C-alpha cells in the first residue's frame, strides 16, 4: 500500500512556515510515502518563487503543484524549466515553460502527478482540460498505475465531472483553488478517490486567507478594496489516500485538518 499526502493551497508566509515545519512530522506520524503540496499562493498570497519551491522540496514534498497564479512571480519563469518537480497546469499551449506532469520513482514504485486547470469561471484561453488530461493520463499509465491529479478549478461541477471522467484511470482527483475544504471525500466505483477541494494551508480566522474586515467591506460597499493577508493561527488542510501499488486503485481516503501553532507544534488535528 502507498500512502500519499496532499496539502491544499499554501497561503502566504504563515501558511508556508506551517507546512515547512510540520511536513516532516506529518510524514513520519502518518507513515507517508509520497507528499504533494500546492504552492499556488505561497509567495505573499500570489504565486510561488524558486526559493519557496526549494524550501517545500527540502521539507519533504515530492512534487509542488500550482494553478492560475503560477506566473505572478517573474523569477519563476526561468526557473520552472529546470525543476521538473514544480508543475504548472498541463493545459497551457505548446511551448509554455515548464511541465504539467511528472513521474517519480519511489521505494514503492513509480508515481505520476498531473496538474491541470479548469475553465469554468476561470481563464478561457487554456486548452480543454478534459482532452489534455485524457491524453496525459494515457501516456503516464504506460509507466505506472498510480496517478494523482490536482485539478485547479473554481466550479464544483467541473471538478466532479473531471473526477468521473477519470474514474478507473487515476488513483486520486483532488480539487484546489477555492481555499475552502469540502466534505465530499469518496472513492468512485472505478477505484478513483475524489475530494472536490482540499482547502488551504493558511490563517484560520480569515476569508480564504485575507483579513476578514477588508473582504467584508468589499462585499458591503462594492468599492475597490486593498486586501492584506490575515495573521494568526494556521490550519493545514488536505488529505491522505491509500493506494494499492499494483492496481493504482484507492482503498481509503481521509481529509486532513491540523491546527498549527507556529510557536511550537500542532494544537490539535481532526
Say what the pLDDT of residue 225 is: 86
27-36: average pLDDT: 98
Length reported for the chain: 270
Residue ranges of alpha helices (H) inside 60-201 are: 76-80, 129-140, 156-165
Cα gap 202→210, rounded to integer Å = 9
| Grid cell of 6 as nine digits | 496532499
Q: What is the mean pLDDT of the chain?
A: 95
Cα gap 71→51, rounded to integer Å = 15
CATH number of 2-262: 3.60.21.10
Say what the pLDDT of residue 267 is: 55
Say what the pLDDT of residue 269 is: 47
Say what the pLDDT of residue 119 is: 97
| Grid cell of 234 as nine digits | 494556521
Question: What pLDDT digit, counting tens, does each position of 138-173 carry?
Answer: 999 999 999 999 999 999 999 999 999 999 999 999
7-15: average pLDDT: 97
User: What separation in angstroms does the CA of 201 have from each of 20, 70, 130, 245?
Assistant: 11, 17, 27, 28
Q: Which residues are catalytic?
A: 69
Cα gap 67→90, rounded to integer Å = 10
Phi-psi region of 11 (alpha: psi -120 to 50; beta: other; left: phi over 0): beta
In the chain, domain spans? 2-262
Question: What pLDDT digit, counting tens, does each position of 89-131 carry?
Answer: 999 999 999 999 999 999 999 999 999 999 999 988 999 999 9
User: What separation in angstroms does the CA of 177 have from each of 1, 7, 138, 144, 261?
Assistant: 29, 12, 25, 27, 24
Cα gap 112→146, rounded to integer Å = 6
3-state helix, strand, coil in the chain (%, to 5): 25, 30, 45
Amino acid at each position: 500500500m502507498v500512502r500519499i499526502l496532499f496539502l491544499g493551497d499554501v497561503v502566504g508566509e504563515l501558511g508556508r512556515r506551517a507546512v515547512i515545519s510540520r511536513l516532516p512530522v506529518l510524514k513520519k506520524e502518518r507513515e507517508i510515502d509520497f507528499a504533494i503540496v500546492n504552492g499556488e499562493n505561497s509567495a505573499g498570497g500570489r504565486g510561488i518563487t524558486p526559493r519557496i519551491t526549494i524550501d517545500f522540496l527540502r521539507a519533504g514534498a515530492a512534487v509542488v503543484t500550482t494553478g492560475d497564479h503560477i506566473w505572478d512571480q517573474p523569477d519563476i519563469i526561468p526557473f520552472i524549466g529546470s525543476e521538473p518537480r514544480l508543475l504548472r497546469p498541463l493545459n497551457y499551449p505548446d511551448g509554455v515553460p515548464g511541465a504539467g506532469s511528472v513521474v517519480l520513482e519511489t521505494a514503492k514504485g513509480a508515481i505520476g502527478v498531473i496538474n491541470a486547470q479548469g475553465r469554468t469561471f476561470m481563464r478561457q484561453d487554456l486548452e480543454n482540460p478534459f482532452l489534455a488530461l485524457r491524453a496525459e493520463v494515457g501516456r503516464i499509465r504506460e509507466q505506472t498505475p498510480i496517478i494523482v491529479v490536482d485539478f485547479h478549478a473554481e466550479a464544483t461541477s467541473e471538478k466532479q465531472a473531471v473526477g468521473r471522467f477519470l474514474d478507473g484511470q487515476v488513483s486520486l482527483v483532488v480539487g484546489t483553488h477555492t481555499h475552502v475544504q469540502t466534505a465530499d471525500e469518496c472513492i468512485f466505483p472505478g477505484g478513483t478517490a475524489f475530494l472536490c477541494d482540499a482547502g488551504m494551508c493558511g490563517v484560520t480566522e480569515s476569508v480564504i486567507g485575507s483579513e476578514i474586515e477588508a473582504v467584508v467591506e468589499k462585499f458591503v460597499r462594492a468599492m475597490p478594496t486593498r486586501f492584506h493577508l490575515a495573521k494568526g493561527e494556521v490550519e493545514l488542510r488536505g488529505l491522505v489516500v491509500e493506494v494499492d501499488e499494483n492496481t493504482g486503485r484507492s482503498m481509503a481516503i481521509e481529509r486532513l485538518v491540523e491546527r498549527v501553532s507556529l510557536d511550537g507544534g500542532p494544537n490539535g488535528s481532526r
